[in-house]
Structures are given as structure tokens and as C-alpha cells.
Structure 1
Amino acid sequence: MADEKKDRFKRIDSAIDKIREEVDDIAEGGKSAGDKVSKEAREAIDALEEKMEELRKNENE
């Protein structure tokens, strides 16, 4: 079961990486309004990663 939990977190990490890449691609083609939105999206992704790290720590305790 521990491996199943690790796999779950690996899939989530992979999905977050893909989302970050897509946001970066969009930001490259964006204008100033897009810059604000992409900055907010990056901040949301960072917050999600922090929450996932907390969950990961709680699973290991």
C-alpha cells in the first residue's frame, strides 16, 4: 500500500509539472493582462505543491 501512495504522489507531481509547462507556454505568448493571469496561475500551482508536500509528510507520519 505504501508503494500505491508513492505512485499516487508521483502521478500528481507529474500532472503539476505538465500544468506548469502549459502555463509557461501560454505566458510566453501573452500580453500584460496574460502576464498577470499567468503569475496568479504560477502562484496557485506553488500553493498546490506546498499542500501536496504537507499531505506527503502527513502520510509518512
Structure 2
Amino acid sequence: MKIILKIFKKVANYTTLKKNKALLRMKRILSYTKLQIECIFKTLFTKNQLTSKLVFLVLM
């Protein structure tokens, strides 16, 4: 859980999102199913395919 949060913070900083917004998103994401998580990351990181794949692999 802590590792996922750390990675999400780094990714959030990388995509220039506000930290609070990113943490709220993270809490929401943790309550979703794997399929929903995949869809969310695809929409969040369409600009950077590498980042989305990296984060998704870590979440799995």
C-alpha cells in the first residue's frame, strides 16, 4: 500500500497534478476492480504510455 502511494505521488508530480487531488484519486482507485483501474490509468496517462504501463504493472 505505501509503495503504491509513493509511486502514485511520483507519477502525480510527474504529470503535474496537485498532491491532494492525486491522493484522493488514489483512495478512489483502491476501491475499484482491476479492470476499472486499467481503464482509469489508460485515461489518466494517455499522454505518457510508458508511465501508465509502469504504474499498472506495479499495481498488479
Which band: TM-score by shorter chain?
Answer: 0.3 to 0.5
Higher Cα radius of gyration: 1
TM-score, reference length from structure 2: 0.40
Could you say which structure has the higher helix fraction?
A: 1
